[in-house]
Structure 1
Amino acid sequence: MNYEHYFGANREKHLAELKEVLAIPSVSCLSEHSPDMVRAAEWLANKMTEAGLEHVRLHRTNGHPIVTADYLHAPGKPTVLVYGHYDVQPADPLDLWITPPFEPDIRDGKLYARGATDDKGQLFLHIKAIEAILKQEGELPVNIKLCIEGEEEITSPSLLHFLETNQELLAADVVVVSDTPFLDRGKPSITTGLRGICSLEATVNTANTDLHSGLYGGGVPNALHALVSLLATLHDERGKVAVEGFYAGVPDISPLMKSEFAKLNHDEEQLRKNLGLDALYGEEGFSFAERIGARPTLELNGVYGGFQGEGMKTVIPREAHAKITCRLVGDQDPQDILDKITRHLQRHMRPGAKLSVQSGVKIRAYDIDPSDRMLRLAADAYEEVYGTRALFTKDGGGIPIVEAFARLLGAPVVLMGFGLPDEKLHAPNEHFNLENFDKGLLTIVSFLKKL
């Protein structure tokens, strides 16, 4: 079957359809967009039905709807579960968009809209690839299930419960996710690891009120002084996290992944210049690529307290705050890490200051062996279409539900995305390169056939 001809003949129709769903402002974190979330879910359900998928169902949750569908007519063949999300980030700041975020526009071979690459555009490829095979051949080479949610951007709380209670409905031999970027244009990559995350906010209190620095300065504890001295104990001078037991469960980087990282050829000096830095920073003994992909971190995301207005206020603040997140790898348990950080902070508190800690998000890391057969077949599919074999990488960010899919379904998760690093996901002027729209369709068809 000539799929290149088929997709070429239907390209304008497909792009017009994609624009329809991109025009729906399905912002999951804003309650005012709840009706739009339902509209986006219903739109996807209709397109799945039109594509020829069966048992299309919209599941109501305590949050936003989940859409499932399947086509199970290939006995003895693998079952593939395709996951994606239809929710998007807020579009602010609106004044930085060249064209309105929910009025899709094609310029210079790129489709601009919020959600174009994260994740509506990439998700749409799977629906159209499945539709193409059914229209061209009348049957699929594998069994297919789809699970599309509307809460990925807010850590997938409804989907986790749905997955725990519907494991039979979603059971599969492999889970496929297209929500990750290439290394660069024409250089596909397959993510073999996503870092987990945990977060906390630490608050330091001293006196029962702010105090005049002239009347009390030098004689009472200062909450900001106590906090910054406390935060300084979290790392040593070589960039290593100094919290006792922090690295328990962190695996060594395998020789295979070492070689894959080396193939990335990161120009660290050029990166330093591009970022306007005097030097890069990080854990000693690791390259930049290894630090951001395969090693855990502890980062300060916000430190505040005292007077922050214009001019001067001679005050000794009674309260100071720090927001902290950790990126986790391997078998690091988010709650265990939060407990260890809390104990570390308590041990290093200055006299006269009190500490309170509020924990936040907790997501485990995901890792898969690069030699897994499913990943190799995905690499074969990329090579067939792009003419270059995908490199195996590790992503410093995360997709919250991926680890749960692997753990609860007992299936490998193949992260084969079609985005590019410069497509401004989460930022103004988000876009999707149409070269990867065209080739992505062909790659998914190739992968399903190879399975």
Structure 2
Amino acid sequence: MSWPHYLQQHQPRFIQQLMDFLRIPSVSAEPALLPEVWRCAQWLQQRLVDAGLESVEILPAGEYPLVYAEWLHAEEGAPTILIYGHFDVQPAGDEALWIHPPFEPWIADGRLYGRGATDDKGNMLVPVLTIEALLRTQGRLPVNVKLLFEGQEEILSPDLPGFICQHKARLNCDLAVSADGWQWSESEADLRTGLRGLCALEIEVNGPRQELHSGSYGGALANPIHALASLIAGLHDENGQVAVPGFYQQVQAVNSAERQALAAIPFSESTFLARSGAPALSGESGYSTLERIGLRPTLEVNGITGGYDGPGVKTIIPARASAKITCRLVPNQQPEQIAHCVAEALRQRAPAGITLAVTVLPNAAHPYRMPLEHPGNQSASRVLRRLYGREPYYTKSGGSIAVLSLIEQELGVGTVVFGFGLPDEQFHSPNEFFRLEQFARGQMAWGQLLEELALTKWA
């Protein structure tokens, strides 16, 4: 039996296994669910053993688990490929917005729904299934493989730098391939050649020692929510630029080649807007939507807390208010430096009558770029052309994957982004799903990629 036929024959079993995987609420952001992250690692460990991989073990990174496996018996001279993915997932959010409970997966219209379906459990399971098919039908793989799956990507992998540094020799490879990725559409391939970096901060504004009656104290004391609102409003100017001194100091101007490459992509702003559900586009003046997402840095307020938000009215001066901020970064911007600039700008603008605390969070990622000419990208491009019957689009992602720059810095190799989710699959949102057609297509793609990489000239 050929490995493609094996994959086709076993799709029902693979789908059921993915549903079992999705039932585990491995939310890394919620401390109470940390045992579930570990339970998910144990499920994955057994699945890797069942696939025929060796040296399978769970390794700790801080409080969180990683799962490692390998198969290193390819022909002499074959490259070693490090396959990366993550099994932690985003919080479900308001479960009332889900058609079914987020950790009770269901299938409808060729789509498998559930938190983590596309980001990243479905995508990261794909290469495991392909490896099983190759080993069961051919008894070997065309390349050596090492697999590293983590349980803290959704909180930006704060413990991963130390882990990779500690395990450099074990993770040594010729190329990394990330299963955490996307394609452009069901009929159009996408090869990501860059992702933005990220830094994160938390602001806390404190006023009176406790909540106070707004009739007795209003107008005589600073209101922490007013102060926070003023601070946040001052972080952007009227043109949508970030109004933080030093924020753009290392940012290179968008050049004509970058603009032409993005302009060649058939991007519909109306479709993008309709998918978002927002009433209008917004952002930095002078740039297209794709340029704002892929080539320009941003600062976003992700959440605000403070005061009374229950039913009716509670006439108070709140004691505190807080906000969480993240910045998406482009090449040459350093997360630590940008976080410091934002923190200092906030401190300089803090109004009288409150105390301000700004905490730089450990969640950070450096911007990542991998040249299209890299042999790994060229191999992936050939596979995608065969699968889709057309040239892939070469894009830069607005998102961040912290491990990519870590792999480059510590292991000295680039990473091909090779996932098969689609942009409308509602990752990080209610009713996340993965198309079963893409689930199967990804398995075929990974098999072809491993075969292609065995033929690639690395010199």
SS in 2 for 1:363: coil
Q: Could you tell me which residue of structure 2 aligns to residue 197 of structure 1?
A: 198
Cα distance change of structure 1 residues 270 and 147 upon mapping to structure 2, 3 Å threshold: closer
Structure 2: distance between partners of 1:9 and 1:277: 43
Task: Give yes or no for contact 2:82–2:177 (8 Å, CA) kept in 1.
Answer: yes
Instruction: Give the 3-state SS of the residue equivalent to 1:117 in structure 2.
Output: helix
Q: Indicate the larger mover: 205-214 or 333-342.
A: 205-214
2:19 aligned partner = 19
1:379 to 378, 381, 400: 381
Contact 2:364/2:402, CA 8 A, preserved across alignment: no
Q: Given the superposition, is the C-alpha separation of residues 389 and 199 from structure 1 closer, same or farther in structure 2, using an over 3 Å criterion?
A: same
> 1:182-218: CA deviations, max 9, x gaps?
2222222122222222222223445666666666665
Q: Are 2:89 and 1:88 equivalent residues in the alignment?
A: yes
| 1:276 Cα offset (Å) | 5.8
Give the structure 2 partner of residue 390 of structure 1. Answer: 392
| TM-score normalized with structure 1 length | 0.89
Alpha-carbon offset, residue 249 of structure 1: 2.3
**Whole-angstrom CA distance in 1 between matches of 2:25 and 2:312:** 41
Distance in 1 of aligned mates of 2:99 and 2:308: 37
Q: Distance in 1 between matches of 2:317 and 2:303?
A: 20
Q: 2:357 & 2:37 partners in 1: Cα distance?
A: 37
Aligned to 2:140: 139
> Which residue number in structure 1 is paired with residue 456 of structure 2?
none
Q: Identify which of 407, 410, 413 aligns with 2:409.
A: 407
- What is the aligned partner in structure 1 of residue 457 from structure 2? none
Aligned CA distance change for structure 1 residues 256 and 70 (closer, same or farther; 3 Å): farther
> 1:286: Cα distance to partner?
1.0
Asked whether the 8 Å contact 1:257–1:392 carries over to 2, the reply is: no
Matched, 1:187 2:193: no
Residue by residue, what CA displacement relative to the aligned partner does 1:292-322 show, whole Å, maximum 9, x if unpaired? 1221111223345455455555555564433
Matched with 1:48 is: 48
Residues 270, 119 of structure 1: CA spacing in aligned structure 2 closer, same or farther, 3 A cutoff?
closer
Q: Distance in 1 between matches of 2:48 and 2:430?
A: 29
Structure 1 residue 51: deviation in Å?
A: 2.5
Cα displacement (A) at 1:168: 0.6
- The one-letter code of the counterpart of 1:191 is R
1:65-214 correspondence to structure 2 within 5 Å? 65-73=65-73, 74-206=75-207
User: Structure 2 residue aligned with 1:436, among 428, 435, 438?
Assistant: 438
Distance 1:269 1:21, change over 3 A: closer
Number of corresponding residues: 451
Q: Secondary structure at the match of 2:402?
A: coil
Distance 2:79 2:255 in 1: 29
Deviation at 1:353, TM superposition (A): 4.3
Judge which range, 176-185 or 39-48, deviates more.
39-48
| Counterpart contact for 1:66–1:159, Cα < 8 Å | no
Q: Alignment partner of 1:43: what SS?
A: helix
Cα 1:236–1:131, aligned 2, differ >3 Å: closer, same or farther? same
Cα–Cα, structure 1 residues 213 and 382, in superposed 2: closer, same or farther, change >3 Å? same
TM-score, normalised by the number of residues in structure 2: 0.88
CA distance in 1, matches of 2:403, 2:178: 11
**Structure 1 position 244, deviation (Å):** 1.1
Structure 2 letter corresponding to 1:432: F
Q: Which residue of 1 aligns with 2:344?
A: 343
Partner of 2:262: 261
Is 2:158–2:364's contact at 8 Å kept on the other side of the alignment? Answer: no
1:416 is aligned to 418
Aligned-pair CA distance for 1:82? 0.3
Q: C-alpha distance in 1, partners of 2:204/2:395?
A: 37
Q: Report SS of the residue matched to 1:161.
A: helix
SS of residue matched to 1:394: strand
> What secondary structure is seen at the aligned counterpart in 1 of 2:118?
coil
Q: Deviation at 1:34?
A: 4.6
Using the alignment, how far apart are the partners of 1:388 and 1:121 within structure 2? Answer: 25
Q: C-alpha distance in 2, partners of 1:235/1:34?
A: 37
Change (3 A) 1:18 1:333: same
Contact 2:205 2:320 in 1 (8 A): yes
The more displaced of 325-334 and 111-120 is: 111-120
* Alpha-carbon distance, 1:116 to partner: 2.1
Q: Relative to structure 1, is the Cα distance of residues 305 and 54 closer, same or farther in structure 2, using a 3 angstrom cutoff? A: closer
**Superposition CA RMSD, Å:** 2.8
Contact 2:294 2:397 in 1 (8 A): yes
C-alpha separation in 1, matches of 2:264 and 2:307: 48
Partner residue in 2 for 1:369: 371
1:222 is displaced (CA, Å) by: 4.3
2:188 maps to amino acid: K
CA positional deviation for 1:247: 1.0
Deviations for 1:334-393, whole angstroms, at most 9, x for unmatched residues?
221122122222333334444321222332222222332211211111111122222122
Provide the C-alpha distance between the structure 2 equivalents of 1:19 and 1:370, rounded to a whole number of angstroms.
35
Unaligned segments of structure 2, at least 5 residues: 454-459
Q: Does the aligned pair in 2 maintain the 1:183–1:420 contact within 8 Å?
A: yes
1:289 deviates by: 0.9
Tell me by how many angstroms 1:162 deviates: 1.9
Determine if contact 2:84/2:180 at 8 Å carries over to the other structure: no
Question: 1:239: how far off?
Answer: 0.9
CA contact (8 A) 1:303 1:321 kept: yes
The 3-state SS of whatever aligns with 1:447 is: helix
The one-letter code matched in structure 2 to 1:377 is: S
Give the conservation status (yes or no) of the 8 Å contact 1:418–1:440: yes
Indicate the residue corresponding to 2:229 in structure 1.
228
State the shift of 1:426 in Å: 3.0
- Residue type matched to 1:426 in 2? H
2:165 corresponds to which letter in structure 1? E
Change (3 A) 1:78 1:345: same
Give the SS at the match of 2:234. Answer: helix
Distance 1:209 1:190 in 2: 53
**What is the alpha-carbon distance in structure 2 between the residues aligned to residue 31 and residue 349 of structure 1?**
32
Task: Indicate the larger mover: 63-72 or 76-85.
Answer: 63-72
Deviation at 1:3, TM superposition (A): 4.0
> Separation in 1 of the partners of 2:433 and 2:375?
32
